[in-house]
Chains A and B, each alone.
Chain A
Amino acid sequence: MTSTPQGNRFGFKDLGIGIGLRTVHYPHILSTWPKIDWFEVLSENYMDTGGRPAYVLDQVAERYPVALHGVSMSIGSTDPLNREHLLKLKALADRTKAHWVSDHLCWTGVLGRNTHDLLPMPYTEEALTHTIKRAKQVSEILERPLVLENPSSYVEFKGSSMPEWVFLARLAEEADCGLLLDVNNVYVSSFNHRFDPTEYIHAIPADRVVQYHLAGHTNKGTHIIDTHSDHAIDEVWKLYALSCKRTGLVATLYEWDDDIPAFDVVLAEARKAEAFRKAVA
């Protein structure tokens, strides 16, 4: 169900509707080869293994389009870029013929340490200049445009001089990056920081959006945690619909990473996107 390439400036295809490749679903995938448009692969889980994960990935990549999605690039960190990581990432992308490679607008650690969390950036000119420079370097090493995802966050820095959506748009334009727009993250951060999520959506350069993320979250009352452990709420679907009107058909992926249900449950949730996609087809 792959559609005609859409209007993103990179010429990346609309891969249709996909879900993340997760270990608990391996037996189902290998035994049924389910009807699904594409899979997103967590890069770091497949870089250093020659075992079953690598075997499953190769089987999947032979049969489905895949895109790589990472969590450890640490593009905003003030530590040096990890070239070993980037070269392995490039090799994995080449091996799997990945349509694109994405990571997050965040930092994961400094002083050689990795917290393995997607820690938020202050939205300052200094941070922007720093991240633009590194994003360009990464694109050169990967020999393909870097795609960056907007984060969900739980703190706001007093020193920020611009809203996240301005930072992200300027970063994408100046470093010539693609964007992975996570509409659940937009919603989570808008709740936590009390901004209008539609303003965020309208500020994103539509022709740079090459992929969407959708997911569920956990509302703690005082704040929302981006847990990827549930169905997406209606407000998130509305933001997705709003953004689709701006971007046209763009590859869409449903993330479910905690309390992962059966493959068909995740796929059914992902396929809710069909209705919104038809509206802009």
Chain B
Amino acid sequence: MRLASLQRWMQAVVVHPGTTEQALRSRGAAAHLKPGRLESVLLPSKTLSAAQRVAIYQEMYPLRMRDALASDYPGLEHFLGNRFWDFVTAYTNAHPSKGYTLNRLGDHVPAFLGRQKTLKPRAFLKDLARLELAITESFDSPEAGVLQAADLEAIQPDRLGQTRLVTVPSLRLIDLEWNAADYLDTVRDENHAHPKPRRSPSFMAVVRRHYSVYRFPVSEAAFLVLSDLKENATIATVVKRAMSRRGARRAAPEDFADWFRRWTAEGLFSGVRDKRKRP
């Protein structure tokens, strides 16, 4: 068998989620080697048949996938329990790793969960996964300097409106419909009564500081202001939009100074940019 065909056959067997017998008979494998012809390609050893030998690789594949996904989604693993295995199998079939690192294996988990009809409550699981993905992304994002309060105070009042606050690359903003953040808080505490999934809208900021990832709740109005800042709007635009919203989404004039001071202290900004100075 030529090298290309051999590798396609072996990969089809190794990644197959069923038994080795099923893997050898699968369409992907059988396209390159008839199931009964295994020993024309692989030798048995004195202690193992050819099928038992290739099964060693086949058994290790899902373990690696599970470890990678559990590392990025501890809350999801905790909630699903024994069902996590089925999730790993279904997910990696739909989204096999195509990169050189397993760090990106779980990038499609929130969207995948949103399409699942058997995993319930689906909206809660999707929120939990979105939050965990945001934490992973924040952890791996590029490092940046942090704006100091003095830098903010040094902006001339007549230039403030045209200034943009540059958010740090690690900042992620997540709006949750369900109590996924509360659930994630309890995952590592085995004695804690884990909250049951329930609708409970919240807004979270996730950021990395001193190489650790933190998350904290913000109001809906603050969340929208942060979202505008993250999208590079000037402070004048951000304020105008915030004050034109209605209800809980609306910001009061006195909110801004307190928010900007607090967010600067939280390390949410890396610098300021004056609109006039943009290339």
Q: Measuring CB to CB, which residues of chain A are less than 8 angstroms from any residue of chain B?
A: 44-45, 47-52, 54-55, 72, 77-78, 82, 85, 107, 109-117, 119, 122, 124, 126-127, 130, 154-159, 192-194, 221-223, 225
Contacts and interface: CB of A to CB of B under 8 A. Distances in A.
Given A78-B7, A122-B3, A116 B46 contact: no
B3 A222 contact: no
A114 B46 contact: no
A50 B140 contact: yes
Contact of A130 (B3, B42, B100, B102): B3
Interface string B181-209: 00000000000000000000000000010
Given A158-B42, A223-B47, A112 B98 contact: yes
B223 interface: no
B53 A113 contact: no
B100 A114 contact: yes
A194 B46 contact: yes
B228 interface: no
Nearest to B210: A52
B57 interface: yes
Contacts of B96: 113-114
B211 A155 contact: no
Contact of A223 (B11, B56, B208): B56
B140 A51 contact: yes
A252 B142 CA distance: 33
7 contacts: A49-B103, A55-B211, A110-B4, A113-B96, A115-B61, A116-B64, A223-B45
Contacts of A223: 45, 47-48, 53, 56
B116 interface: no
Residue of B7, B57, B98 contacting most chain A CB atoms (<10 Å): B7
Nearest to B41: A158
A78 B6 CA distance: 10
Contact of B57 (A112, A124, A155): A155
Interface string B42-56: 110111101011101
A113 B98 contact: yes
Residue of A72, A116, A156 contacting most chain B CB atoms (<10 Å): A116
Contacts of B208: 51
Query: Closest 3 interchain pairs by CB?
Result: A50-B142, A52-B211, A72-B100
Contacts of A117: 14, 57, 60-61, 64
A158 B9 CA distance: 15
A82 B100 contact: yes
A114 B97 contact: yes
Contact of A107 (B7, B143, B169, B212): B7
A194 B43 CA distance: 12
Contacts of A47: 100-101
Nearest to B11: A110
A interface majority secondary structure? loop
B10 interface: yes
A48 B14 contact: no
B255 to A, nearest CB: 31
B185 to A, nearest CB: 21
B11 A124 contact: no
Contacts of A112: 98
Interface string B1-27: 111101110110011000000000000
A223 B49 CA distance: 11
Contact of B101 (A48, A51, A115, A193): A48
B139 interface: yes
B47 A78 contact: no
Nearest to A47: B101
B33 to A, nearest CB: 11
A50 B14 contact: no
B143 A55 contact: yes
Given A109-B97, A154-B54, A222-B47, 8 more contacts: A51-B170, A110-B4, A116-B102, A117-B61, A117-B64, A126-B2, A154-B56, A156-B42
A116 B6 contact: no
Nearest to B144: A50
B99 interface: yes
Nearest to A86: B100
B211 A119 contact: no
Contact of A50 (B40, B54, B61, B141): B141
A78 B100 contact: no
B39 interface: yes
A48 B103 contact: yes
A157 B45 contact: no
Given A50-B143, A51-B139, A222-B47, A154 B101 contact: no
Contacts of A82: 100
Given A82-B100, A155-B53, A194-B45, A115 B15 contact: yes
